[in-house]
């Protein structure tokens, strides 16, 4: 989360960035006790809002390590775990998937009081538009243990089209993990919300990543 603003002050005319091999550590670097849990997933989501917000500088990014066999791994954390018959994605995997599947084509500002939302009131945000599907896509991370009620005032579009699609990744506790016995304990859930005028009311659940897709004209 401390690195969510890492690239905000980078030289816009300097070299482009490949943010390679990043992952949050639940214990400490190279510890065998590291876990891929909701805590690390939310931390990585907050960091990734900074990657998206600074996409003019950060051209590429990749999580690592990606794959680990349950009986033959070298280090932790790992994005996807498997045995000889099964595989499951970690909460961190679903963060990667949500950002990847909701990239958009152009970055637009996500502001609170005319400032980027980079941790104020435990909220982190980034936004893009997809000119191909005519949607505004907003990602909001709530890193606190309480629900946050907020509204999105979307400017620049002639008309917003109801309903908006809302996908939420959260869990029962920060220590919750996916396992072979419960591979989808932490997994995204989608729903729809109605739009009134140019506003979308959002209730960001505790320790969550919320992705909102709003169709527009």
The verdict on 124 and 76 lying in the same domain is: no
Residue 63 lies in a domain: yes
Look at strands 106-108 and 111-112 and give their pairing: unpaired
Residue-level pLDDT at 158? 86
Q: Could you list the residue range(s) of the whole structural domain that residue 135 is in?
A: 106-215
pLDDT, mean over the chain = 95
Give the three-class secondary structure for 44: helix
Domain boundary among 51, 78, 100: 100
Cα separations in angstroms, 85 against 69, 70, 82, 182: 11, 11, 8, 15
Does residue 199 carry a pLDDT above 90?
no
The verdict on 208 and 115 lying in the same domain is: yes
Would you place residue 156 in the very low, low, confident or very high pLDDT band (cuts 50, 70, 90)? confident
Specify the residue for token string 């419960």: 182
Residue-level pLDDT at 25? 95
Q: Report how far residue 143's alpha carbon sits from residue 62's, in angstroms, rounded to the nearest whole number.
A: 22
Q: Which among 190, 186, 207, 192 has a CA at the least distance from the CA of 94?
A: 186
The verdict on 51 and 147 lying in the same domain is: no
Q: What is the pTM of this model?
A: 0.96
Does residue 151 carry a pLDDT above 90?
no
Give the three-class secondary structure for 187: coil
How many structural domains are present in the chain? 2
Residue 12 lies in a domain: no
**Cis-peptide into 174, omega within 30 deg:** no
Q: Report how far residue 157's alpha carbon sits from residue 142's, in angstroms, rounded to the nearest whole number.
A: 26
Does residue 197 carry a pLDDT above 90?
no
């Amino acid at each position: 989360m401390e690195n969510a603003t890492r690239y905000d002050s980078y030289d816009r005319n300097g070299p482009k960035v490949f943010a390679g091999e990043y992952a949050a550590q639940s214990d400490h670097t190279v510890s065998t006790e590291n876990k891929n849990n909701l805590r690390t997933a939310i931390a990585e989501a907050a960091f990734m809002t900074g990657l998206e917000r600074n996409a003019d500088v950060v051209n590429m990014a990749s999580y690592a390590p990606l794959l680990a066999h349950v009986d033959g791994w070298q280090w932790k954390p790992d994005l996807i775990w498997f045995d000889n018959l099964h595989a499951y994605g970690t909460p961190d995997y679903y963060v990667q998937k949500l950002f990847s599947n909701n990239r958009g084509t152009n970055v637009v500002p996500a502001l609170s009081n005319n400032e980027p939302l980079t941790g104020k009131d435990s909220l982190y945000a980034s936004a893009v538009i997809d000119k191909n599907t005519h949607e505004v896509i907003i990602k909001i991370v709530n890193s606190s243990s309480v629900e946050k009620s907020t509204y999105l005032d979307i400017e620049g579009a002639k008309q917003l089209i109801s309903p908006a699609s809302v996908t939420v990744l959260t869990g029962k506790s920060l220590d919750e993990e996916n396992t072979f016995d419960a591979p989808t304990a932490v997994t995204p859930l989608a729903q729809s919300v109605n739009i009134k005028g140019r506003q979308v009311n959002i209730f960001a659940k505790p320790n969550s990543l919320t992705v909102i897709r709003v169709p527009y004209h």
